[in-house]
């Protein structure tokens, strides 16, 4: 009897292992062939891509070597878009490296097709079919970047000076490395894209998505999964090298623990200068990028934040002296 029970347990375990192998290593990552796309080379497309990359998506903040000790993390001279090694972060299950986005043919995007770049941006799959770690917010971009905007980004990236630099591949610990394989997903249809400036609330909500505000400001659990009912309520720790740790702010409309007591001018200063309501310097907040948004887009973003339901969540203050 005992042998039969043990045999049944072993059989169940083997079946569970088989299911996991099939799900994560046979059926994942889900991908489709890269579309045959061609990014335009017109001044208008390049300018649009530059605006998105430099002022909205902030792509080069993660994909450049930066001075992390300075507010807004400015890129180091001559290293724009050349990739970034984030180093070993305390408590993180792996080693994150953001690839080189310059047109270098050996270490950057010079050997990629336009369709492969668009697929990586919106569907989370590399040129060789590898799943990208979701720190790259392809989930947000897949909901918000139209074909035209995704191709405009490609158009601009093609104009960056080519820099030969290989930061290496991201390495993740098990089981995170397995679960990440299930994150990418082919788009069912192209996103509609940005709403008109005539509808500032809708446009601001689009900006909240495409600027990846939720990725930093949502409250998350120990597995970094968003906690239901605590969207944009903050609290995630962000280590600052040689300084300490800051915590993502609560940017819901709660007047006591969020931004409900901030004026529009206070929030414009956050976006444009990296200064909090009391004048404190903000670290980890990519204000050097968002500061380049048009006045209309900044105010649309603020209008959308005013509509975020209030969540009471007192965020821990930074643990270092500014």
**Domains in the chain, start-ordered, CATH in brackets?**
43-166+173-182 (no CATH), 200-306 (1.10.760)
Q: Which pLDDT value is given to residue 141? A: 96
Q: Which pLDDT value is given to residue 296? A: 96
Q: Are 110 and 184 in contact (CB under 8 A)?
A: no
pLDDT band at 177 (very low <50, low <70, confident <90, very high): confident
Better-scored residue on pLDDT, 108 or 12: 108
Between the alpha carbon of residue 281 and those of residues 29, 71, 184, 299, the distances in Å are: 41, 7, 36, 21
Q: What is the mean pLDDT of residues 244-269?
A: 95
Better-scored residue on pLDDT, 28 or 277: 277
Better-scored residue on pLDDT, 85 or 15: 85
Segment among 32-41, 181-190, 226-235 with least mean pLDDT: 181-190
Q: Which pLDDT value is given to residue 104? A: 98
Q: Are 20 and 120 in contact (CB under 8 A)?
A: no
Residue 143 tokens, joined: 């909901």
Q: Which pLDDT value is given to residue 193? A: 84
Residues constituting the chain: 322
Better-scored residue on pLDDT, 77 or 93: 77
Cα–Cα distance, 37 to 151 (Å, whole number): 8
pLDDT tens by residue, 194-226:
899 899 999 999 999 999 999 999 999 877 788
pLDDT tens by residue, 22-68:
655 665 577 889 999 999 999 999 999 999 999 999 999 999 999 88
Q: Output the average pLDDT for the chain.
A: 90
Q: Give Cα 176 to chain centroid, integer Å.
A: 18
Cα–Cα distance, 112 to 159 (Å, whole number): 14
Q: Which pLDDT value is given to residue 88? A: 82
pLDDT band at 18 (very low <50, low <70, confident <90, very high): low
Q: Which pLDDT value is given to residue 189? A: 86
Q: Which pLDDT value is given to residue 123? A: 97
- Cα distance from N-terminal residue to C-terminal residue, the chain: 68
Q: Which pLDDT value is given to residue 87? A: 86
pLDDT band at 158 (very low <50, low <70, confident <90, very high): very high
Of 20, 70, 58, the residue nearest 175 (C-alpha):
20
pLDDT above 70 covers a percentage of the chain that reads: 89
pLDDT at 92 > cutoff 90? no
Q: Which pLDDT value is given to residue 13? A: 61
Question: Structure pTM?
Answer: 0.91
pLDDT at 322 > cutoff 60? no
Cα–Cα distance, 80 to 142 (Å, whole number): 25
pLDDT band at 4 (very low <50, low <70, confident <90, very high): low
Q: Give Cα 207 to chain centroid, integer Å.
A: 13
pLDDT at 114 > cutoff 60? yes
Q: Which of 84-93, 144-153, 235-244 has the highest mean pLDDT?
A: 144-153
pLDDT at 94 > cutoff 80? yes
């Amino acid at each position: 009897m005992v042998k039969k029970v043990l045999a049944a347990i072993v059989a169940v375990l083997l079946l569970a292992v088989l299911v996991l192998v099939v799900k994560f290593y046979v059926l994942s990552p889900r991908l489709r062939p890269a579309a045959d796309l061609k990014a335009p080379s017109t001044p208008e497309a390049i300018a649009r891509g530059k605006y998105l990359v430099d002022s909205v998506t902030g792509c080069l903040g993660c994909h450049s070597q930066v001075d992390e000790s300075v507010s807004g993390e400015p890129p180091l001279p001559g290293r724009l878009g050349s990739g970034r090694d984030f180093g070993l972060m305390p408590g993180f299950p792996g080693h994150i490296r953001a690839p080189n986005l310059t047109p270098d043919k050996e270490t950057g995007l010079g050997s990629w097709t336009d369709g492969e770049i668009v697929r990586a941006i919106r569907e989370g799959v590399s040129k060789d079919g590898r799943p990208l770690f979701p720190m790259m917010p392809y989930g947000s971009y897949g909901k918000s970047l139209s074909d035209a905007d995704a191709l405009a980004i490609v158009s601009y990236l093609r104009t960056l000076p080519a820099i030969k630099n290989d930061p290496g591949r991201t390495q993740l610990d098990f089981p995170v490395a397995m679960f990440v394989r299930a994150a990418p997903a082919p788009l069912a249809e192209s996103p509609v894209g940005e709403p008109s400036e005539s509808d500032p609330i809708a446009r601001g909500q689009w900006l909240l998505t495409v600027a990846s505000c939720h990725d930093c400001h949502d409250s998350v659990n120990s597995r970094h999964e968003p906690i239901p009912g605590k969207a944009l309520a903050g609290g995630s720790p962000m280590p600052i090298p040689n300084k300490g740790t800051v915590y993502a702010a609560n940017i819901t409309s709660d007047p006591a623990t969020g931004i409900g007591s901030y004026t529009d001018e206070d929030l414009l200063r956050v976006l444009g200068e990296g200064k909090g309501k009391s004048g404190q310097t903000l670290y980890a907040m990519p204000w050097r990028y968002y500061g380049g948004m048009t006045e209309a887009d900044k105010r649309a973003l603020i209008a959308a934040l005013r509509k975020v339901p209030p969540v009471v969540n007192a965020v821990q203050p930074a643990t270092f002296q500014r």
